[in-house]
Amino acid sequence: MKKIALTLAAIGLATAAQAQTYPQRPITMIVPFAAGGPTDVIARIVGDHMSRTLGQQIVIENVAGAGGTTGITRAAQAQADGYTIMMGHMGTHGAAPALYPNLKYDPTKDFAPIGLAAGTPIVIVAKKDFPANDLKGFVDYMKTNGEKVNMAHAGVGSVSHMTGIFFNAVVKTKPTMVAYRGTGPALNDLMANTVDYMTDQIVNVAPQIQGGNIKAFAIATAERSPALPNLPTTKEAGLDGFEVSAWNAVFAPKGTSPEIAKKLSDALVKALDDESTRKRLLDLGGVIPSGAERSPEALQKLVESEVARWTPVLKAAGATAE
């Protein structure tokens, strides 16, 4: 018994010592999507500054698959020594339990939250010829024409799919859903007037809105975005209950020592305060979390509330990827 206690103490000391000298070698940040997507871009921008703070490089490893759950599963099962962390997002840590019944991790329990990185707001866009010019007209049209309208999305489990379902639930409409493989082809058909509307991240649609190829009705955030200053928020346009942005956040596997988590969290906060990092994120139309939203505790609360928010919406729409 004594022996065990001693061993435990020794391990405790060892981890404390480890935390003091952490990090000694490069840290792997698993991004559960292919390189080049919004989450990957944010991870690389934030990771770049965090590397400078920590004095060790953060290597981005893209492990794509199954809506991001492949990469997160691997990261969750990695050694909790601070050398494997991950960039999770609204899908992997919010919608996944509803979408994937066989999910091998629990977003609320299996992670040590580090902090929120940046989010990208959702914009409601429609084809150029759509017979409505503002959100109110759009919602009214949807209510009377329901199934005649085609909603495009970028595949089951994608941000545009989830937020589209959420929007339809808020507006209480049931359009015909048309799936695409990725945002690009969906936007192409939206511009060609083949499909009617979609909801997607601002970074994907802003250039087309500015170019006049599609029309935008509202942005689903509390405040207007500097990238599209003329676009009203959903609340301003008269729609309550549809506020959503695709958030991205850094997590470590459960059991990561608090000292290491603190070092990572501090580095993340420092990155979010850095002028050039902020500028790069804002250029993307990103939303940077303010002081209180950045703490690990706030992230834990966010994950819990997101799981609670998405599960009923997605289950009601029958969206699972079994």
Q: Which is nearer to other proteins, 36 or 241 (CB)?
A: 36
Q: Which is nearer to other proteins, 48 or 293 (CB)?
A: 48
Choose, by CB under 8 A, the member of 167, 180, 242, 310 that binds other proteins. Answer: 180
Please list every residue from 283 through 322 that binds other proteins, using CB under 8 A: 283-285, 319-322
* Nearest-10 crossing angle of helices 296-316, 159-171: 70
Choose, by CB under 8 A, the member of 181, 236, 255, 312 that binds other proteins. Answer: 181
- Site of tokens 């049931």: 174
Please list every residue from 21 through 80 that binds other proteins, using CB under 8 A: 24-26, 28, 34-38, 40-41, 44-45, 48, 57, 59-66, 69-70, 73
Please list every residue from 191 through 250 that binds other proteins, using CB under 8 A: 191-192, 194-195, 203, 206-208, 210-211, 213
- For residue 165, the number of C-alpha atoms closer than 13 Å in the C-beta half-sphere is 23
Please list every residue from 93 through 132 that binds other proteins, using CB under 8 A: 99, 102, 104
CB of 301 to other proteins, least distance (A): 29
CB burial of 12-35 (b: ≥16 within 10 Å; e: otherwise) equals: eeebeebbeebbeeebbbbbbbee
> Any long-range contacts for 156-159 (C-beta under 8 Å, 24+ apart)?
156/67, 156/99, 156/319, 156/321, 157/67, 157/91, 157/95, 157/96, 157/99, 157/319, 157/321, 158/67, 158/91, 158/183, 159/90, 159/91, 159/122, 159/200, 159/201, 159/246
Whole-angstrom distance, CA of residue 319 vs CA of residue 109: 23
Choose, by CB under 8 A, the member of 132, 169, 179, 288 that binds other proteins. Answer: 179
Q: Which is nearer to other proteins, 133 or 194 (CB)?
A: 194
Binding characters for other proteins, 241-280, by CB under 8 A (x = yes): --------------------------------------xx
Token pair for 50: 């965090």
User: What size, in residues, is the chain?
Assistant: 322
Per DSSP, the three-state class of 222 is coil
Interface contacts to other proteins, rule CB under 8 A: 24-26, 28, 34-38, 40-41, 44-45, 48, 57, 59-66, 69-70, 73, 99, 102, 104, 150, 155-157, 176-182, 184-185, 187-189, 191-192, 194-195, 203, 206-208, 210-211, 213, 279-280, 283-285, 319-322
